[in-house]
Amino acid sequence: MHEMAICENIRTLIEEQARTQHFSRVDRVCLEIGALSGVEVEALRFGFDVVMRGSVAADARLEIVETAGTAWCLPCAVTVSIGRRYDPCPRCGSHQVQVTGGEEMKIRELEVT
């Protein structure tokens, strides 16, 4: 359900762009989705096809760039990579980590005609 709502936001953004940048067809949509964004990429792909029906992006190819999760470990005072929100620091095992990257949910670019 969450992914459907995100797809609806993507469709709105694309339709706005179609009006302002004057294009009638989107051939490729490139998204950036962070590992910690809470988005299930497979569900997003499914939702994308359903939600884009009847829009300028109905036949668009969906490309998803997944970015890794990073966090600042307070005890170590270094940036570490984490796969999930509840992962401890891989160096010291502490949960005193602050997420610094991997929460992105962006449309990077559109290939249009």
> Binding site residues for Zn(2+), as ranges?
73, 76, 89, 92
Between 79 and 98, CB nearer to other proteins? 98
Helix (H, G, I), strand (E, B) or coil at 36: coil
b/e per residue 36-47 (b: at least 16 CB within 10 A): bbebeeeebeeb
Can you give the binding site for other proteins, defined by CB under 8 A?
A: 1-2, 5-6, 9-10, 12-13, 17, 21, 23-24, 27, 31, 36-38, 74, 84-86, 88, 95-99, 105-113
In the bound state with other proteins, the residue whose beta carbon lies nearer, of 1 and 77, is 1
In a 3-state reduction of DSSP, which class is residue 30?
Answer: strand
